[in-house]
Amino acid sequence: MRISAKCFLPSPRWLLALALLGGCVDTDPVRELRTRPHRSNADVDWRDQVIYQVMIDRFENGDRSNDFNVEPNVPARYHGGDWRGLINRLDYIEELGVTTLWISPVVRNVEDDAGFASYHGYWAQDLLRPNPHFGDLMVLRELVDAAHARGILVILDIVTNHMGQVFFYDINGNGRPDDLLIGGGTSHTCVQVCGSPIEPERDCSNACSPDECEYCERGYSYLERITEWDPEYDPRGVQAWSSLGFSGDSAIRFLYMPEINRTPPAPPPDWFDWPASRGWFDNDSWYNRRGRVYTWWHEGPYSVSFLREQETLGDFPGGLKDLNTDHPIVQDALTRVFQHWIEVADFDGFRIDTLKHIDRPEPLEWEDWWEGATTEGGRDHRGFWGEFCTRIRSGAASLGKQNFFMFGEAFDGNDALLGAYTFPGTDENGPFGRLDSVFYFSQKYRVIDGVFVNGNPTVEIERLYTERATNYYDQSHASRAEGGIGLPPQQVLVGFLDNHDLHRFLFHSGATVEMLQNALFYLLTWDGIPCIYYGTEQLFDGGNDPANREDMFLGNPERGFAPFDTSHEHFGFVRDMIALRRGHVALRRGGVQVRWTTATRADEERRDAGLFAFERVHDEETLLVVINSSNDFESETCAPASEGGACMRTSFGPGTTLRDISPRGAGYTVTVAGDGTVAVTVPPRGGRVLARE
């Protein structure tokens, strides 16, 4: 008979045998959760990290007692994964070799919307309380502490742009959410305010800008029918409407559906010290109430400022209500709630969702200004990020945490826009910082997809790298002691092949395991911080959401992989590439010098088809990396004879012998010729990491 371990923990014992049977649990850890020591991270350099993205619900089910509303065979419902499950699989994480976990949001969510469940965590309902599907605060802290004990950092995914589907727009004033209203919506605004937008009667009067006229015309038929759950964007704010016409701003009504936790968020606990008079996330004024983003920056002939304002003030698709992040009290509340999570759970960084939907730090000269614009922008407009990032850094420092890393997701291929979020600014209150880094979406589209999937010329990689100097901040926002990371954003961009919002790399038409490994080779040898989506090492190949959120605990049956299988070749490849990066400071921290690119597509037969070569230069070592992105050709780092036949020059002197130290190097060596050039051959979809022998 086994007595639960819960019975026996150190405590004073009384004389009677009865007390011995009782046992004692030391609850001091519970009481002191907020004041428990935090990991200082003084020894951390973020360039050394390899991030592993985990969607908690899909990773491992370690605690059956929180399996509420679990339907493991329905892709868009909860599957039962939890923090206990991740704790149980830290051995696997450690064997893979990643150094940082990025875990999906931890806050309590609206449970359900239109039959879809909030297993991903992005539908916040209560920003202070943990999602009971995943565990409680003690288990969350146990996860972080257990990871720290293995030298693994933990980054928390946070959402500051929006809350879940917590209210509806009562456009017709009947007090209930109507799925369909005929004759309402923005098109009605257009007709009533702008005049008829439709040819041949088109008469968009002076009351509306050309952007609004365009918006009305394009969306007329679609916007004629709206839903009060998620109406389309209206520049004036969603308007109430009846058969007699407009009646002002539409009221919003917070829902009360406790069975799916679609209720106003509970007030903060007393110890949070937040006066009720300041309001909370059930306050109307804390939301922008403009309706759902309908057009996106890269679409249509709209002015940039109109589109960017829509992106930053509109609700996020799916009924996710946009927070008024320009409101000082909202800023304060968001800063304090996420400071709370650092305090109780000792996270080492934030991954910030929907970055570009808050603030417009891009230079104003980019924009053809929309005359109806109501928001400010520009680099020196502090906005939300200037306030949030500055306070979070100082807050982390006050807890003894250095190196608190904040990077954001701006789901956009525009490199300049991404970089805009990394620049600091100065306003009347003084200087302020912004994000330490961003997800390198421009690299994802132009390099990962463009070069390694579609075979575009590898010179594109160099172009993107060159643009970095202009588009990204080149200084650190704050020193480590001040809570910053002591590194410029230019050096710590977070690269990735795919994530939870994109289909798996292997879902690309024609994608192969060799292509995946080729792209990983680049990701893990290039500069910046590589981020690997869970399951990449298990050859998951799901399509778009929710197919790309496969259950890790089911393994990959199509490939014959058991759950968490570490025996197959591909896992070994990923593990070994990570180990290679971790074992060589040049790959992690070295500067980049591009040595060879091609201006032709990888499927064009030539001597150097698909090749990309670069050096990673560090004081301690220099490594030469050569990657072949072509499917069909073994290539060599020399020009075709018709182009002179010159071979690659590197920083290695003549006579230097270089050995391939990559996992599949197989003892390949090459010697620098007397003229200082070197001809490195690389098989199709192969790569080499050459070190001085």
Q: Which stretch binds another protein (CB under 8 A): 73-81, 145-153, 241-249, 393-401?
A: 73-81
C-alpha dist (Å) from residue 489 to 82, 384, 435, 436, 485:
32, 19, 8, 5, 10
Verify binding: residue 74, another protein, rule CB under 8 A. Answer: yes
Q: Which residues pair with 316 in a beta bridge?
A: 320
DSSP letter assigned to residue 464:
H
Closer to another protein by CB, 83 or 571: give it.
Answer: 83
Q: Which of 45, 48, 136, 621 binds another protein (CB under 8 A)?
A: 136
The reply to whether 139 sits near another protein by the rule CB under 8 A is yes
CA distance 57 to 456: 37
Among 5, 182, 276, 666, binds another protein (CB under 8 A): 5
For residues 384-404, b (16+ Cβ closer than 10 Å) or e, as one string? bbbbbbbbbbebbbebebbbb
| Binding residue for another protein, selected from 64, 150, 225, 278, defined by CB under 8 A | 64
- Output 266 or 592, the one with its CB closest to another protein: 266
Q: CB nearer to another protein: give 145 or 621.
A: 145
DSSP 438: E
Pick the binder of another protein from 49, 53, 59, 62 (CB under 8 A). 62
> How far is residue 168's CA from residue 238's CA, in Å, rounded to a whole number?
11
For residue 104, give both structure tokens: 């999906």
Do 531 and 505 contact (CB within 8 A), yes or no? no
330 to 263, 285, 384, 455: CA distances (angstroms) = 19, 9, 9, 46
Query: 69 vs 196, which CB is nearer to another protein?
Result: 69
Cβ distance to another protein smaller for residue 68 or 222: 68
Q: Which stretch binds another protein (CB under 8 A): 56-64, 301-309, 359-367, 564-572?
A: 56-64
Q: Is 129 in the site for another protein (CB under 8 A)?
A: yes
CB of 393 to another protein, least distance (A): 24
H or E element at residue 26: none
Which among 13-21, 148-156, 216-224, 589-597 is the span making contact with another protein, rule CB under 8 A?
13-21
Looking at beta carbons only, is 7 or 207 nearer to another protein? 7
Which of the stretches 151-159, 222-230, 269-277, 666-674 binds another protein when contact is defined by CB under 8 A? 269-277
Rounded Cα distance between 486 and 391, Å, is 16
User: Min. distance of Cβ 87 from another protein in angstroms?
Assistant: 9
Stretch that binds another protein, among 14-22, 153-161, 537-545, 578-586 (CB under 8 A): 14-22
Cis peptide before 210 (omega within 30 of 0): no
Binding mask 78-117 for another protein (x = CB under 8 A): ------x---------------------------------
Burial of 620 (0-12, 13-18, 19+ CB in 10 A): exposed
| Span near another protein by CB under 8 A; candidates 12-20, 192-200, 241-249, 278-286 | 12-20
**Interaction between residue 3 and another protein (CB under 8 A):** yes
- Which CB sits closer to another protein, 31 or 298? 31
Identity of the residue, 130 or 663, whose beta carbon is nearer to another protein in the bound complex: 130
Which span (267-275, 446-454, 492-500, 518-526) binds another protein, by CB under 8 A? 267-275
Q: How far is the CB of 323 from another protein (least distance, A)?
A: 22
CB under 8 Å to 474, separation ≥6 — which residues? Answer: 488, 489, 490
List the beta bridge partners of residue 241: 246
Taking the complex as a whole, the smallest distance from the CB of residue 678 to another protein amounts, in Å, to: 56
With CA atoms as reference, report the closest residue to 391 among 456, 461, 335. Answer: 335
Dist. CA 131–CA 119, nearest whole Å: 10
Does 276 participate in binding another protein (rule CB under 8 A)? no
State yes or no: residue 269 binds another protein (CB under 8 A): yes
Q: What is the DSSP letter of 474?
A: -
Q: Closest by alpha carbon to 49, among 344, 428, 351?
A: 351
Among 76, 137, 198, 416, binds another protein (CB under 8 A): 137
Q: Smaller CB distance to another protein: residue 62 or 361?
A: 62
Stretch that binds another protein, among 6-14, 359-367, 558-566, 652-660 (CB under 8 A): 6-14
Bond preceding residue 105 cis, omega within 30 of 0: no
Nearer to another protein, 197 or 268 (CB): 268
- Rounded to whole angstroms, the maximal C-alpha distance in the chain is 97
# of chain residues touching another protein (CB under 8 A): 51
| Of positions 81, 97, 105, 135, contacts another protein by CB under 8 A | 135
Q: According to CB under 8 A, which residues from 411 to 430 bind another protein?
A: none
Please give the residues from 16 up to 35 whose contact with another protein meets the rule CB under 8 A.
16, 18-19, 21-25, 27, 29-31, 33
Where does this chain touch another protein (CB under 8 A) — which range of 67-75, 233-241, 459-467, 617-625? Answer: 67-75
Q: Which residues of 260-278 are buried (b: 16+ CB within 10 A; e: fewer)?
A: bbbbbbeebeeeeebeeee
Establish if 259 lies at the interface with another protein (CB under 8 A): no
Task: Give yes or no for a contact between 238 and 289, defined as CB atoms under 8 angstroms apart.
Answer: yes
Q: Per-residue DSSP letters for 197-242? A: -STTS----TTS-HHHHHHHHHHHHHHTEE-TTSPBP-TT-PEEEE
Q: 547: part of which helix (H) or strand (E)?
A: none
Q: Which residues bind another protein (CB under 8 A)?
A: 1-7, 11-16, 18-19, 21-25, 27, 29-31, 33, 61-65, 71-74, 77, 84, 128-130, 132, 135-139, 266-267, 269-271, 344
